[in-house]
Structure 1
Amino acid sequence: MLFINSDNRVHGLGANAYGSLGLGHNQWVSEPQELVELRDKQITDIFNGKKFVIFKTSDNFLYICGDISKKFCTTSDVNARYLRPMIVQIDGTDVLVDDISCGSYHILVLTNKHEVYGWGSNRFGQIGSRDTKFEDINTPKLIDFNGNYCIKSVRCFEHQSFALTSDGQVFSWGYNHNNQLGCTTSSEIICRPQLINDLRGITSVQSGAGNTFFINTATNDIYVCGQYVDKNSKTNPLYEKLVNKTNRNLTIASINLVTVYSYWFYKNNLYISMEYCSLSLKKVIQLKAPVFSRQPDSELMTCMEYYLSCEILRELLDCVRYLHELQPPVLHRDLKPDNILIGQNISENNRFVKLCDFGLSVDETVCDTLLSGAGTQLYTAREAYDGCYTAKGDVYSIGFIVCDLFDTDINNPRDRYSDYYDWSDKYCRLMQIVGQTMQGSYDARPTCAQIIDQQSDWALDSRYITGQLDFNDILEQLKHRERDLREDELGTEPEFWEFFYTFLLLKTNCYNLNTF
C-alpha cells in the first residue's frame, strides 16, 4: 500500500516483495514508512503495474521504483533495482507528462508535446517499437504513429496498448490473441501502432476478458471487438433463460429503455453491449438540492425544483407504462433510482429518462418463474416475498422512488408543504397518490396510466413556471451554477450540472441552440 498524507508526504505499508514500496529493500513493512526521496516533490498521482510503481509530481515529472531490473531499468546501476525512487528521463531530459498508463509489465507516457514514449516488457510488441525480436525496452523509446496525429491520451492493459487522438481515432498494438485490438489483421502480435478503421469520436477505451470496448460519450455509443463464442454451442443451463431475456430486451427496444445493441457469451459469462448513460436518477436526487441552493433537511422545494421533479416522474411513469402495456406485459421487478438512467440525446422527443437493468424482468404471464424477494428490499412490494408479483409491484416501487425524488418523509408526507405555496394542493394530491401506490393490497394500487391521467392534479404546468418573475434569472444561475458548487457535490463531469439547465429549457419550450 502507498498513500499520500495531508502533508503531501508519501508512505508505504504492507507487501514489498519486489521493492515496489521504494523503501530500499524488499521486506514486508508492518508500519507506515515515509519515502524520504519523494519529500517535497509534491506527488499528485501514483500508478502501478504488477511489480513496479510510478509517481507523478505536480510539475509532471516521474519517479519509478520496484522490479525495474531487465524490464524497467532506467539506470546503469543494477544495484539500485530495489532501492529508492529515481527520476525517469527521456533522451537525457526530465519528462513532462500529460498522461500515463501502466500495463502488467510496460508503461506508456504522453508528453506535453503529444509524443508517446514506452518502455518495459516488449514480449508481445506492446511497446510499439516495431522490433520483431520482441526484446525488453530498458529506457523510454519514442513511438512512431506514422503520420501527423495529435495524441491526447494513452491506455495500457495487460499486454495491450492504445492511443487516442484529439479527434477520437484509436491506435492499438500488442497482444491480439482474441482480436481484441480491433485491427483488420488477425496477427496474434502487432508490434507497431495500427489505426482502427471507422472509429471516430472515441473518448474512452476499456479492455479485459478477451474483449475491448470503445466508448463515444457524445453519441452514447459503445463499440466492441474481441472473442465471440458461438452461442449455439453453449450447454450452460442458464444460457436459454439469459438469452431469452436478452432477446426480449432487444425486441422491446424503445426510447423508454436503454438500448441493447448485442450480446455474446465468453467463458460462461453473458456480455451485453448497450447504450452508455453516465447519469442516473440516484445522482440527480443527490445533486438536486445543492443545484437549487436548498438545504434538504430544513428548506422546501421551490416551484422550479418541484416542476423538474414532476417532469422526471412523468417520464418515469411513461417508461413503466410502456412495459406494462406490451403484449404480454413486461414487469421490471427492480425499479430503484440506480436503475433509472438519464439519457443525454435531446433529439429523441425531448426524452431523458430511460430504464435499465432488466436482469429480474419477466413477462407477467410467466408467473411460475418469479422468485420471492426479487429486487431491492426497500423498493420491493410485500407480496413479492410470497412469490406473487404483478405490474402493481412496479407501481409500489415507484411510490418509494417518488419519496426519494421529492425529498419526502413517507411517515408525514403531506404536512411539510400544507398551505405554504399556492400550489401546495398539488403536492398534497401527489402524496395521496403515493399513499395509494403503497397499499398492502396490490389491487388497491393505481396503474401508471391512471397516475398519468391525473397529472393535472399533481404536476405544475410549464406556463406557471415560465410566468414566474425570476424564471430567467434562475435559468441563468443554473447555467453557471457549476462555478459556485463544491466539487464533491457535483463531481467533475459536465453532464452532472448541465442536465438541470438543459432539462428545464426543453420542458418549458425555451430551448435555443444559441444558449450553449
Structure 2
Amino acid sequence: MNVWFVTNDDLVYTFGNNTYGKLGLGHNLIVNKPEIIPELCAKNVQKFINGDRFALCITFDQQIYSFGSNECKQLGRHTISNDNNKPAIITYLSDKCIIDIKCGSYHSLALSSAGTVYGWGHNNRGQSGCGQQQQQQQTLDCIDSPTHESQKIHILEEVKQLQKLQSKFVVKFYDTWIESKILYIQMELLSNSLKDLIELKAKTFQRKTSEPMDCIEYYITSHIMLEMCECVEYLHTRQPPVIHRDLKPANILINDKPLDNRFLKLCDFGLATDHNRMGSESELHTKNVGTDKYMAQEVREYNGIDRVAYNEKSDVYSLGCILLDLFDVNSNNDMQ
C-alpha cells in the first residue's frame, strides 16, 4: 500500500511499500513513516492517481506530474537513469488545460477542458485509445537540444525515413513534434533486439557455442533468418531503394506479441539513404558509415575520398555478417 497526502500549508507527504519508486522520493526503499516529497510541495496538488507501478498527480494550475516505473512509457515523459523515481512535469500536457487524470495498470489518460482525451503507455488491448490495438507499447522519445550538427542531421534523417516506411517490416512511427526546443519522437516500443536473442540462444537450448544446433534450434534460427531477409527486401524494393547502412543485431527488434505472426522489425534509420540509380548500378554515397564489424568493404574509407560508389548490396553484406552471429559461425578476421 502507498499513501500520499497534502497538509493545510501545502506540504506533500508519502509513505508505503514504495515498489518501483512510485512514492516519488527518488528511491525504492520501504518508507514506514511519512516523508516529504520536495518536488510537490507548494504546488497545490489536487489529486493523486495510483497505477500499478507508477503514480500521477494534478495541480491546481493543471500541471501533471508523474513518477515510478516507466517500463511501458506510462509516465508520458523521457526518463534517464533513476530520475523516474522523482516527480516531474509531463511537458507535452503543460498547455493542454488538463482537468482530470486516470491510470490503468500500465497506461494513463488525461482529459482537457476542451473535451480532448490524451492516452499513453501500454496499449495491448487498445486501452490507451491511440488507434488500433497493439500488443506492444508506444514510446515517447525526446532529444534535448542536440549539441552537434551531425546529431541533429541523424535525428531528422531518422524521422524522414520513418515517415516514409510505414510497414510491418519496420518499427511503427506515430508522431513527432518540437516543444521547448526538444524534439519528441513517438514510436512503437519493442524492448528486445536480435542482439539479446543471439546472446541467450545457445544457453536457452542448453548448447555450448562449439556444439552444433539441434533440429529445433536450427528451424527457429532459419525462420529468424527468413524474416530478416524479408525486412531488408522491403527496403531494397522501395522506389527508390532504401539502403539502411547500419544493419546489425541491435537494430533488428523483436515483437514478442505480434498480431501478424511476424517477430522482427528494423529500426534506427538515422544513417539510411535513398539510392537513386539514374541508369547506373552504383551511386556515390557517404563513406565509412555504420558499425565496423558489419560494414561492407566498399563503404569503408579509402584514400581520403569523401564519397564512394556503393548500392543496396552493402546491406546484403551486413546481413551476411549478422547470419554468422545468428548461426554461431566463427568467421575469420578478414571477413569482418
Q: Does 1:221 align with 2:221?
A: no
| Closer, same or farther: CA 282–203 of 1 in aligned 2, 3 Å | farther
Alignment of 1:79-98 (within 5 A): 96-98=17-19
Q: Which amino acid aligns with 2:37?
A: G
Q: Does 1:119 align with 2:32?
A: no
In the TM superposition, what is the alpha-carbon distance from 1:251 to its structure 2 partner?
2.2
Q: Which amino acid aligns with 1:403?
A: L
The answer (yes or no) to whether the contact 1:360–1:375 under 8 Å persists in 2 is yes
Give the paired residue count. Answer: 278
The answer (yes or no) to whether the contact 1:171–1:195 under 8 Å persists in 2 is no
Rounded to whole Å, the distance in 2 between the matches of 1:270 and 1:185 is: 22
Rounded to whole Å, the distance in 2 between the matches of 1:368 and 1:266 is: 37
Rounded to whole Å, the distance in 2 between the matches of 1:99 and 1:376 is: 35
| Closer, same or farther: CA 110–247 of 1 in aligned 2, 3 Å | same
Q: Deviations 1:466-499 (Å, cap 9, x if unpaired)?
A: xxxxxxxxxxxxxxxxxxxxxxxxxxxxxxxxxx
Q: Secondary structure at the match of 1:261?
A: strand
TM-score, structure 2 length as denominator? 0.65
Rounded to whole Å, the distance in 2 between the matches of 1:330 and 1:227 is: 25
2:244 to 332, 337, 344: 332
| Closer, same or farther: CA 369–125 of 1 in aligned 2, 3 Å | farther
TM-score, structure 1 length as denominator? 0.44
Q: Which amino acid aligns with 2:218?
A: Y
Alignment of 1:9-28 (within 5 A): none
Rounded to whole Å, the distance in 2 between the matches of 1:200 and 1:177 is: 17
Q: Does 1:351 align with 2:262?
A: yes
The structure whose Rg is larger is 1
1:407 to 302, 320, 328: 328
* 5+ residue gaps, structure 1: 1-59, 61-71, 75-88, 131-142, 187-193, 206-211, 230-235, 413-434, 440-516
Q: Which amino acid aligns with 1:378?
A: K
The answer (yes or no) to whether the contact 2:17–2:30 under 8 Å persists in 1 is yes
Q: Does 1:252 align with 2:126?
A: no
* 5+ residue gaps, structure 2: 2-10, 58-63, 78-85, 110-117, 125-134, 302-307
Q: Does 1:375 align with 2:293?
A: no
In the TM superposition, what is the alpha-carbon distance from 1:345 to its structure 2 partner?
3.5
Q: Secondary structure at the match of 1:222?
A: strand
In structure 1, the partner of 2:313 is: 392
The answer (yes or no) to whether the contact 1:182–1:225 under 8 Å persists in 2 is no
In structure 1, the partner of 2:66 is: 161
Alignment of 1:191-340 (within 5 A): 194-196=100-102, 200=104, 202=106, 214-216=120-122, 218=124, 219-222=135-138, 224=140, 243=156, 245-266=158-179, 270-297=183-210, 299-340=211-252
Q: Which amino acid aligns with 1:222?
A: Q
| Closer, same or farther: CA 289–237 of 1 in aligned 2, 3 Å | closer
State the structure with bigger RCO (CA 8 A, min sep 6), 1 or 2: 2
| Closer, same or farther: CA 362–185 of 1 in aligned 2, 3 Å | same
The answer (yes or no) to whether the contact 2:106–2:122 under 8 Å persists in 1 is yes
In the TM superposition, what is the alpha-carbon distance from 1:185 to its structure 2 partner?
2.4
Equivalent pairs: percent with the same residue? 30
Q: Which amino acid aligns with 1:385?
A: R
The answer (yes or no) to whether the contact 2:192–2:255 under 8 Å persists in 1 is yes
In structure 1, the partner of 2:304 is: none
The answer (yes or no) to whether the contact 1:374–1:384 under 8 Å persists in 2 is yes
Q: Which amino acid aligns with 2:206?
A: S
